[in-house]
Amino acid sequence: MKQLRIDGDRLWASLMELARIGATPKGGVKRLALTDLDRQGRDLVVGWGRNAGLAITIDQIGNIFMRREGSNPALAPIVTGSHIDTQPTGGKFDGNYGVLAGLEVVRTLNELNISTEAPIEVAVWTNEEGSRFVPVMMGSGVFCGAFSLETAYAAQDLDGKTVQDELACIGYLGAQVPGQHPMGAYFETHIEQGPVLEDAGKVIGVVPAVMGLAWYDCVVTGMEAHAGPTPMGLRRDALQVSTRIMQEVVAIANRYPPYGRGTVGMVQLFPNSRNVIPGEVKFSIDLRNVNDALLDTMHREMLAFVDRTRVASGLAIGIERVSYYPPCPFDPECVAAVRDATDKLGYSTMDVVSGAGHDAIYAARVAPAGMIFVPCKDGISHNEIEDAKPEHLEAGCNVLLHAMLARAKVASN
C-alpha cells in the first residue's frame, strides 16, 4: 500500500474554492457558524460529497456525516473530519483542512477503486469556533454528551438569534439524534496553530494528547488615589501587586516543561487613568499542561502564591477558577496508526501535544481518536494571514489516508 497517494493539487484547489465563501480583503475567511455563508460552505462541501457518491446524514445539531459504504456495512465507520466555520478574522485552513482532507481521502479511494471493510465517513461538526454562539465545539460537544441539545439550541448570538432557529434557517436542522451515530475510530488532520513543527523543521506532528487547561479570573483590590500627593509608602497599588502574580503565572509554567503553559491575556484596570493609582485590577490566568497531575500541581502553586501575595501586600485578592478542561490523551492505537503511516511514508516527524481545543477532544470521549498536525506559517492561526504550504497539507492528508486504511482495512476484491 506504500505507493498510495492522495492528489495534493486537488486538495489545494478544493481548499481555495471553499475559501472564496466569506473571503476577506486581507486573504482570510469570515464564515461564522450558522450564517448564510456557513450554509453556502456546507452546500458546497455536501455537493462535493454527493458527487463523490457519499450518503449524507444530518443530525439535530447540524453535524454532517458523509458516508462511503464499506464491504461490511455492519462495521462502525472510520470517521475523519473537522469544521468549516471560522473566526471573525479567520484563515483558510483552520478546520477546513480537516474536512477537505477527509473528502480527498474519499476521492482518492474512488479514483483507485479501493473498497474498505469498514465504512469511511467525513464529518463536518457544527460551530467549533464558538465565535458567534457559545459553547465552543458545539456540534461535537452535543454529539458526545458534554452538554445537552437543549443547551446548544438555546444559545444566542449578540442579536438574540438562537442556534435552533439559525440551524433551521440555513436548512441544516437534521433528524438524527446526536451521538446515535456509530464511530469505530476518529482521525482529524489540522494545522498545528503553533510554532513547534516549523521551529523544529518537521512536516508531520503526531499528536499523543491535547493539553488540559484551567482558566481563572483574578481580582486585586487596593485603593485608588492620586499619583502625585500619595507617598509610595502609603499606597495600595493594585497594579503593582498584580504584576507579581502575572510574573508568577509564567514562572509556574516554566517549572513544568515542556508542556507547561501560563498566560495572562486579559487585563482591566479601574479607573485606568494616567494620574490615578489603580484601585482594582482584574486579569485572566490560563494554565495548561498535558496531564492532570501536573496541571493540578500548577493549580495548587498558583493558589499558594496568591495566598502569600495577599498576606505580603495586605491587599484583597480574589481568584476563581472559571473553566476547566481535563487533559485528553488520545487512543494509543490511533496514535500508533498515525505514527506508523508517517514512518511508512518517510515524512520527518515529531510528537506535538495540542494546546488548542479540537472536535477530536469530544470525539475521543465516544471513540478511539487521534490527530495529525501539519505546520502553519509562523505558528499563526485565528488570523487572516494564517497560511500553510501545499506540500505539508498534502503530506498530512497522505498520513490520514494510510492511518484510516490501516483502521478500516482494505477489502479483498
In whole angstroms, the minimum distance from the beta carbon of 145 to a second copy comes to 24
Which of these segments, 57-65, 239-247, 308-316, 362-370, binds a second copy (CB under 8 A)? 239-247
Please, which of residues 306-345 interact with a second copy by CB under 8 A? none
The binder of a second copy chosen from 206, 277, 302, 360 (CB under 8 A): 277
In whole angstroms, the minimum distance from the beta carbon of 280 to a second copy comes to 12
CA pair distance 17, 275, nearest whole angstrom: 53
Which of 228, 246, 258, 313 lies closest to 283, judged by CA?
246
- 3-class secondary structure, 175: coil
Contact by Cβ (8 Å): 31, 38: yes
In whole angstroms, the minimum distance from the beta carbon of 21 to a second copy comes to 25
CA pair distance 187, 261, nearest whole angstrom: 26
In whole angstroms, the minimum distance from the beta carbon of 186 to a second copy comes to 20
211 is a site residue for a second copy (CB under 8 A) = yes
**C-alpha angle with apex 402: 397 to 407, nearest 5 degrees?**
125
Contact by Cβ (8 Å): 392, 35: no
Element (H, E) at 250: helix 238-255
The interaxial angle of helices 390-408 and 96-111, nearest 10 deg, is 60
In whole angstroms, the minimum distance from the beta carbon of 9 to a second copy comes to 28
- 3-class secondary structure, 320: strand
In whole angstroms, the minimum distance from the beta carbon of 351 to a second copy comes to 13
Q: Which is nearer to a second copy, 19 or 196 (CB)?
A: 196
Q: Which is nearer to a second copy, 138 or 213 (CB)?
A: 213
**C-alpha angle with apex 39: 35 to 45, nearest 5 degrees?**
140
226 is a site residue for a second copy (CB under 8 A) = yes
In whole angstroms, the minimum distance from the beta carbon of 136 to a second copy comes to 10
178 is a site residue for a second copy (CB under 8 A) = no
- Classify strands 276-277 and 204-207 as parallel, antiparallel or unpaired: unpaired
- 3-class secondary structure, 239: helix
Q: Enumerate residues 6+ apart whose C-beta is below 8 A from 308.
A: none
284 is a site residue for a second copy (CB under 8 A) = yes
359 is a site residue for a second copy (CB under 8 A) = no
Q: Which is nearer to a second copy, 160 or 231 (CB)?
A: 231
In whole angstroms, the minimum distance from the beta carbon of 409 to a second copy comes to 33
3-state class percentages of the chain: helix first, strand second, coil last, to nearest 5: 35, 25, 40
Which of 218, 219, 220, 217 lies closest to 236, judged by CA?
220
E strands of 290-375, at which residues? 316-325, 328-329, 349-351, 369-374
Which of these segments, 156-164, 226-234, 292-300, 363-371, binds a second copy (CB under 8 A)? 226-234
350 is a site residue for a second copy (CB under 8 A) = no
286 is a site residue for a second copy (CB under 8 A) = yes
Which of 264, 298, 296 lies closest to 283, judged by CA?
264
CA pair distance 84, 12, nearest whole angstrom: 15
The binder of a second copy chosen from 213, 298, 360, 403 (CB under 8 A): 213
The binder of a second copy chosen from 159, 232, 412, 413 (CB under 8 A): 232
- Residues touching a second copy, count (CB under 8 A): 56
Q: Which is nearer to a second copy, 139 or 260 (CB)?
A: 260
247 is a site residue for a second copy (CB under 8 A) = yes
Please, which of residues 374-403 interact with a second copy by CB under 8 A? 379-382
CA pair distance 169, 162, nearest whole angstrom: 10
The binder of a second copy chosen from 2, 274, 314, 413 (CB under 8 A): 274
DSSP tag of 71: S
Q: Which is nearer to a second copy, 77 or 205 (CB)?
A: 205
Binding site for a second copy (CB under 8 A): 192-196, 199, 211, 213, 215, 225-232, 234, 237, 239-240, 243, 246-247, 250, 253-254, 257-258, 260-267, 269, 272-278, 284, 286, 288, 354-357, 379-382
